[in-house]
Amino acid sequence: MKLGILSRSRELYSTRRLVEAAQERGHRTRVVNYLRCYMDISSRRPRVRYVGEELDFDAVIPRIGATYTFYGTAVVRQFEMGGVLAVNGAEAISRSRDKLRSLQVLSGKGVELPTSSIAHSTHDIKGLLEILGGPPVVVKLLEGTQGNGVVLAETKKAAESVIAAFRQLDANILVQHYVEEAGGEDLRALVVGDRVVAAMKRTAAEGEFRANLHQGGEAQAVQLTKQERSMAIRATQVMGLDVAGVDMLRGNDGPMVIEINSSPGLEGIERSSGVDVADAIIAFAEASLGRPRKKVRG
């Protein structure tokens, strides 16, 4: 198989591991900086060119950064138009990157989520907080990643101040009920195809409520319940993704999804779980060649 890894740097852990796994399985592999790709979109034969040459792959694995979703997904879409398998298609990546849209899609399909709300006007903050049952609430920038742009507001006054401040900056925000019983812990399930291949529990650093590893959280292997596995797989399929990191909380009424990531980092979960996730992704690409992709509405 001729495999392309769409990544801005081959030195990144996840990119490096995918290359190693692909080469160990005997595939010809090349890392391509998708920001250096350019496309012939007027031809009857869609083409992608890179540093003066036409790219010829059987499959590509997109590792598209959140900052460059628009152009990155355009490149992925061009490959798909040319008949190249994309492990995570352009539409699914775009859908998952829009946090509000992804929650609306998941909610519409019956996936359990924390109570969430959004408002445009600062005049509607009171009503927004009423939907959530009052503080404490978590205020999230829709464009934030890796735990950045996430604030815990523990009182009504604090919530009103934070929400108003973000809106004055014309920032798009999501406000969610704070699941206090989760105790600063969340779960990351790494889904490939129709199964969870690895899972970890992340625990927030002392004095911090965000469990993200980039915010100082610690990770350890965890055994998911049957319900948690089923929910992670369901969320991934609803979004139309082939590979996803599904973040969940353990609430009093069961697990709930808080976020889904179409380019999940492999370092934390491989090291904490001991699972070769990169190999599972390459194996999925092998098995998927020639299969028609299921269309997902939403």
Instruction: Tell me what pLDDT residue 145 has.
Output: 56
Alpha-helix residue ranges (DSSP H) falling in 25-89: 69-81
* Closest of 95, 4, 68, 79 to residue 46, by C-alpha: 79
Q: Which amino acid is at 181?
A: E
Cα distances (Å, whole numbers) of residue 195 to 58, 192, 232, 272, 284: 24, 6, 9, 18, 11
Q: Which amino acid is at 234?
A: R
Kindly state the tokens that stand for 105: 């899609």
Say how far apart CA 256 and CA 99 lie, in whole Å: 15
Decide if 255 contacts 248 (C-beta within 8 A). Answer: yes
Q: What does the pLDDT profile of the chain (298 residues) look like in tens digits?
A: 999 999 999 999 999 999 999 999 999 999 999 999 999 887 678 899 998 899 999 999 999 998 899 999 999 999 999 999 999 999 999 999 988 899 999 999 999 998 888 877 766 777 878 888 878 888 887 765 555 678 888 888 888 888 788 777 777 778 888 888 777 788 999 999 999 999 999 887 665 556 555 555 688 999 999 999 999 999 999 999 999 999 999 988 889 999 999 999 999 999 999 999 999 999 999 999 977 665 555 5
Decide if 96 contacts 264 (C-beta within 8 A). Answer: no
2-90 is classed CATH 3.40.50.920: no
Instruction: Tell me what pLDDT residue 207 has.
Output: 56
Instruction: Tell me what pLDDT residue 95 has.
Output: 93
CATH architecture of 116-178: 2-Layer Sandwich (3.30)
How many C-beta neighbours within 10 Å does residue 199 have?
Answer: 23
Kindly report the backbone phi and psi dihedral angles of residue 297, in degrees, each rounded to the nearest multiple of 5, phi listed first: -85, 155
Instruction: Tell me what pLDDT residue 283 has.
Output: 97
Residues carrying CATH 3.30.470.20, the chain: 96-111+181-288
96-111+181-288 is classed CATH 3.30.470.20: yes
How many C-beta neighbours within 10 Å does residue 206 have?
Answer: 7
Residues carrying CATH 3.30.1490.20, the chain: 116-178
Instruction: Tell me what pLDDT residue 156 has.
Output: 85
Distance of CA 16 to the CA centre of its chain: 19
Instruction: Tell me what pLDDT residue 229 has.
Output: 97
Instruction: Tell me what pLDDT residue 212 has.
Output: 58
Q: How many CA atoms, within 13 angstroms, populate the side-chain half-sphere of residue 56?
A: 2
Determine how β-strand 185-192 pairs with β-strand 243-251: antiparallel
* 3-class secondary structure, 126: helix
State the pTM of this model: 0.86
